[in-house]
Amino acid sequence: MEGKASVTICVGGGLDVIDKLSQIMGSNDEYLGRQTASVGCYGVGRIDQRFQYIGIQDCRAAALFYGGPSPCTIGCLGLGTCASVCPFNAIRMRADGLPEIDPEICRGCGRCVDACPQGVISLSRMTERLFHLNKISECLAPCRQKCPAQVNVPIFIRHLLKKNMEAALLTIKERHPFPLIIGRTCPHPCENICRRNLVDGGVAINHLARYLGEWERQMGKHLQISCAQETGRKVAVIGGGPAGLACAYFLRRAGHRPVIYEAMPLLGGLLRYGIPEYRLPQKIVDWEIEGILRLGVEVRTGCALGGNFTLTELEKKGYQAFFLGLGAWVIPKLFIPDESATGILGSLDFLSKVGTSLTDLTQKNVIVVGESNTAMDCARSSIRLGAESVTVICPCERKDMSARIRDVNRALEEGVTICFRMLPVRVVSNNTGGVSGLVCRSSSADGAESIKKNGNVAIDGTITAMNAEMLIVANERKPDLCYLLDPENAKYGFQISPKGTLDAERFSQLAAEPNIFTAGDLHTGRATVVSAVAGGRMAARSIHHFLSEGRIPIPDDIQRKINPKSILKEVRISETVPRIRIGELPVPMRRISFREEVIATIDENQAQFEAKRCLQCGTYCYNKKYRLT
């Protein structure tokens, strides 16, 4: 009667009653979706038991008997106590001994949570699931620990294996909205740590996620994505690249009103202006951005911070929090003689012109300076534009390149020459002021490492002169911090990190008290797309808590590094099956085509075959027996 009870107090009434109570009590903040229970264990009895338990068939009794038969303190005991105490019959015990919860029947009463002695079952609302951070107290497969976006890999693959495509894709979209983009750009550390590498090759997780995204796109319509009740709170998301788009996506799903301010004519940032079509088609970028905007995210393109608006002006418009995702678009100069010659382009300037104002490099020799994925993109694009020769000047050894191994290999296959441990020392120009060559100096292995870490420091070595009619500088990208450091913004107290990026608190992503947050390349410097997306989700989590509670909680037991106990020395499985082979465009076709992707999307049969290879790992356990039929 005093209005102090939660709107979720009547669990038996279900969602309709909760909605009515929310309307009567005028509560927009407390109810952000009904609670449902979920199971955090992947298998019963997959670890050798300490003893055979033959006592009372109740998990609580088993746990009291010398701590229970299982050596795993976070694993299900499989005796079904949760199912027996559920008053709504929402839980059934599967044949493998794990409880399965029907979310349509579950009322979130919490009886199962209270009855489980292992903490296997938890209650959460949609927003809590969206912003959940991995904890060391949870059952986490190595792949899930390693994923920058913290995707629940075993669960989405389990759904895929059952051909429940929607559930599989929605599992991914609880952590990021880009299955097609991440499926094409991610360096997939999850696959590198996969336990199947100990026997026959890691599961092709990235290709499975890409397949699910393509399944949705081929349907011609986006899945229905649930959003929490409207809060009416406005958030300015400044920068429409991967970090900003991810931040806006999660804020909208949490019920807030994000508005994206983007300086360029179209959203996407480096997804659109920095990655070639043969690696990431623009139709894919358009499709996945469309999936975000249809949730109700507003956009203002052609609006640059410091040019068209200021933070102070946005504050006056009623924005209650701000996200800065301006990216890193500045390509530092080489600082060598005659660098002002015409025909020298920065990597992003070059890539943005490819296919528009830059369509033909026939009879031209091209030199690319750099060792990143962007350098490989510039080199491979030059090949496709018909360049006579393409040479990459790499300051380090091959093993130390930041470019992915597969992209380096493909560049070499397509005809790119890479000169390792080389440093540019002088541009050669012709009588008209155009670039005609580059003078380089070789370095020792120690010198190469110093160059990569400290910049272009002259190292004694062999001098080499190379002909070139175009020079592309693909050095480390840096953010433009001029506006943030302007005296008019001194009141915000922005701090710059030693590496020249916008500093922020770890995990909270707070860049300036109390309500300015950041992520992506502006904060980290040049990094992967998936890390920018993960940072955008982290920032959205903090903004959500700031707006809803006035504080930003960080779990004490947050997973900060890989649990060493989860890294096994051997895997014993019933049979070994090699990883699927992914189709690739033949080299002759690659050299002339921008429009055709180099790497193909797998088909349904391949996806099912590869999904069956997943061992459904937990922190310590995995499936030792499985069949491919």
Give residue 537's pLDDT band: very low, low, confident or very high (50, 70, 90): very high
Cβ neighbors of 136 (< 8 A, separation 6 or more) are 557, 558, 559, 563
pLDDT at 628 over 50: no
Query: Quick one: average pLDDT of 245-261?
Result: 98
Position 31 scores a pLDDT of: 44
Query: Quick one: average pLDDT of 226-238?
Result: 96
Position 204 scores a pLDDT of: 98
Helix axes 529-549, 242-253, angle to 10 degrees: 40
Q: Which residue has the higher pLDDT, 91 or 6?
A: 91
Position 574 scores a pLDDT of: 82
Position 49 scores a pLDDT of: 85
pLDDT at 26 over 70: no
Alpha-carbon span 213 to 228, nearest angstrom: 23
pLDDT at 30 over 80: no
Of 25-34, 210-219, 558-567, least confident by mean pLDDT is: 25-34
Query: Quick one: average pLDDT of 437-443?
Result: 93
Architecture label for domain 32-124: 2-Layer Sandwich (3.30)
Q: 89: burial class by Cβ within 10 Å (0-12, 13-18, 19+)?
A: exposed
Position 43 scores a pLDDT of: 79
344-473: what fold? FAD/NAD(P)-binding domain (3.50.50)
Q: Which DSSP category does 342 fall into?
A: B
Tokens of 210: 């890409």
Alpha-carbon span 21 to 4, nearest angstrom: 12
Tokens of 225: 């994505």
Query: Quick one: average pLDDT of 77-82?
Result: 93
Give Cα 381 distance to the centre of its chain: 25
Nearest C-alpha neighbor of 28 from the set 225, 232, 236, 226: 232
Position 66 scores a pLDDT of: 86
Position 457 scores a pLDDT of: 47
* Predicted confidence (pLDDT) per residue in 349-387, tens digit: 999 999 888 999 999 999 999 999 999 999 999 999 999
Domain boundaries, the chain: 32-124, 344-473
What percentage of the chain carries pLDDT values higher than 70?
Answer: 91
pLDDT at 393 over 80: yes
Average pLDDT, the chain: 91
